[in-house]
Chain A
C-alpha cells in the first residue's frame, strides 16, 4: 500500500514544490556567497552608501541605487495618471464596444517585448529628446517615458480589476439614490477599490525597478548619480548587465552581486507589502 501510485504521485508533486522553494532561496544564497568578498574588503555599509571610484578601490553602488530611483519613480509617476484615466474609461466611462477594444489593446500591450520598446525608444524618442532639449538624448527622461508606457498595462489591468470587483450592491444603492456614473465612480467605487489599486501600483513600481533593457538601452549608463532628468544614469539592473566577467575575482565584478541583493530586497519588500495589505483588507472585509 505504501508504494501505491497514489503515494508515488503525491510524493512527486511534493518534490516539485520543494524544488521550486529551494531554487528561490538558493538565488539569494548564491548572491550573498559570491558577493561576500566585497563586503569583507570594504565595510558592509560602504558598499550600499559609498561612491563608485575603482581607482581608489571604492565600489559603492549608491550611484546605481540613486539612478534606479531616478528612472523608476518618474516612470511610475507618469504611468499613474495614464493608467488611472484609462482604467476609468475601461471600467465605467466608456461604451461597451470601446471597453472591449481598449481591453484588447491593453492585453496586446502586455505582450510587447521589452527589447522592442527599447529599440523604438532609441531610434524614435532619443533623437527627439536630443533635438528638443539638447544633450546626448540618452537620459533619465527617455528611459522613464518608455518605462511608463511599459508598466501602464500592468497598472491598468490591476486598477480595472479592483474597480470591477467592488460589490455591485453598493453601486446599485448609490444608483438608486440618484448618483450618476461619475459620482458612483468617485464616491462609491474608488474608495472601496483603493486598497487593491495600491497593490497594483506597488507591483507596477516593482516592475519599473526591476526592468533591465529599457534603462540599459536608453539611459546612457554613466556611473554617476544624475542631478536632472536630462542626465544619463545607470540602474542596478543595467550595472549587472554591463559589468562583464573580465576578472571573476575582482571587486568591481563582485559589486554586481551587491546590486543583485539590493534588487532582490527591493522587489521582495514590494511583494511582501502587497501581500500584507491584501491580508489586512481581507480581515477587514
Chain B
C-alpha cells in the first residue's frame, strides 16, 4: 500500500513539474511569436526621427517612447525616495534597535509588504485629493504622487534586505574594526555596509523591478493613456505597464495590438533581467522579500 502511494507521489510530482514548464513555455512562446515581429525602431519611436526625439526636439505620437520615459522617471524618482529611507531604517533595525523594537517593526514591515498594491494606490490617490483640497489645487494625481506611492510599495524590500544582510555578517567581521578603535558609525560605514553590499543592492534591484512592473498603484495615481514625455513632477504621464493594460481592452486595430505585444516583451525583458540579476548578485536572497501582492 505504502509502495503504491510512494510511486504515486513520484508520478504526481513529475507530472506537475511538466505542467508548470508547459504553461511557462506556452506563455513565452505565444508572446515571442506575436511580439518579436513588432520589435524595432518603429515600435519605440514611431514615425519620428530617434535622434531628434532623444534631444527633445520632436515628439513621438505613435510609439512607446513616452511610456518608456514615464516608467524610467517613475523608477528613478521612487528609487531615490525609497532607497535612502529604506537603507537607513534597515541599518537602524539591524544595528541599533533593541529586541522589542525589532519585533514590532518587523511585524509592521511584514504588514506593509502584504498590503495589496491597489490599496497603496488608493492611499496615494487619497493623498492627492487631500493635498488638492487642503493645500493647493494644482495638486492632483501626478508623477510625484505615483512615485511616492511606489516608494511606499517597495520600502519593505529595501528595509528587509538591508536588515537581513547586515544581521547575517559573522562576528569576526563585526568586531575587528571595533577592536582597532573604530566607533560604531565608522564600523557601519567602512566595514559592515561594504560587506553587506551584495544583499543590499539585490534588494534595491528587486525594488526597481517592482516599480517598473507595478500597474495597480499607478492606475489610481495619475497614469494616463496619452500625455507625452512628462514635463514636471505635477504632470500626468504615460507608463509601459499601463500601456499594456490599456491596449488590452482599448485597441482599435491590429497595429496597436502588435504594439501591445511588443510592449509586453520589452517590459518582460526588463523585469526578468532585473529580477534575475538581483538573484545573481546575491544567491540566497530571502524569499520573504518576494512576497508582494
Residues of chain A touching chain B, judged by Cβ–Cβ distance below 8 Å, are 5-6, 9-10, 12-17, 19-21, 23-24, 26-27, 30-31, 34, 81-86, 88-89, 93-94, 102, 104-105, 107-120, 122-124, 149, 152, 154, 157-158, 161, 182-183, 185-186, 203, 206-207, 209-213, 216-217, 237, 240-241, 245, 248, 256-257, 260, 263-264, 267-268, 270-272, 275
Contact = CB atoms under 8 A, between A and B. Distances in A.
B109 to A, nearest CB: 7
B150 interface: no
B190 interface: no
Interface stretch (B36-44, B57-65, B260-268): B260-268
15 contacts: A5-B185, A15-B88, A23-B152, A31-B122, A81-B16, A83-B16, A110-B275, A113-B268, A114-B215, A161-B287, A240-B122, A240-B220, A270-B114, A271-B107, A272-B111
Contacts of B6: 182-183, 186
A119 B260 contact: yes
Contacts of A17: 88-89, 92-93, 97, 105
Interface stretch (B21-29, B72-80, B168-176, B230-238): B21-29
B142 interface: no
B20 A9 contact: no
B16 A82 contact: yes
A115 B290 contact: no
A107 B123 contact: no
B191 interface: no
B92 A116 contact: no
Contact of A207 (B5, B15, B89, B291): B291
A203 B114 CA distance: 8
Nearest to A152: B20
A13 to B, nearest CB: 4
Given A17-B97, A122-B248, 4 more contacts: A114-B213, A116-B31, A211-B293, A260-B122
B123 A27 contact: yes
A84 B267 CA distance: 29
Contacts of B86: 16, 20
The 6 lowest CB-CB distance pairs between A and B, nearest first, are A85-B16, A210-B293, A210-B116, A111-B275, A13-B92, A16-B88
A177 B121 CA distance: 56
Contact of B264 (A120, A182, A241, A270): A120
Contacts of A183: 6
B115 interface: yes
Interface residues of B, number: 90
Contact of A23 (B21, B84, B155, B216): B155
B245 A86 contact: no
B177 interface: no
Contacts, number: 260
B67 interface: no
A17 B91 CA distance: 9
Nearest to A183: B6
Given A13-B88, A85-B13, A203-B291, A112 B116 contact: no
Nearest to B14: A89
Contact of A213 (B21, B96, B107, B245): B245
A217 B9 contact: no
A115 B215 contact: yes
A107 B30 contact: no
Contacts of B253: none
Contacts of B159: 20
Given A119-B264, A248-B129, A256-B122, A209 B17 contact: no
Looking at chain B's contact residues, the main secondary structure is helix
Contact of B23 (A31, A123, A149, A248): A149
Interface string B211-236: 01101100110000000000000000
B213 A20 contact: no
B213 A113 contact: yes
A114 B34 CA distance: 18
Contacts of B89: 13, 16-17, 19-20
Given A124-B30, A182-B10, A267-B116, A115 B293 contact: no
A10 B27 CA distance: 49
Nearest to B112: A24
Instruction: Name the residue in B85, B97, B130, B291 with the highest tally of chain A Cβ atoms < 10 Å from its Cβ.
Output: B291
A85 B19 CA distance: 10
A110 B93 CA distance: 27
B114 A113 contact: no
Contacts of B95: 13
A210 B114 contact: yes
B155 A268 contact: no
Nearest to A33: B126
Contacts of B13: 84-86, 88-89, 93
A23 B113 CA distance: 12
A84 B15 CA distance: 11
Instruction: Name the residue in A10, A24, A182 with the highest tally of chain B Cβ atoms < 10 Å from its Cβ.
Output: A24
B216 A6 contact: no
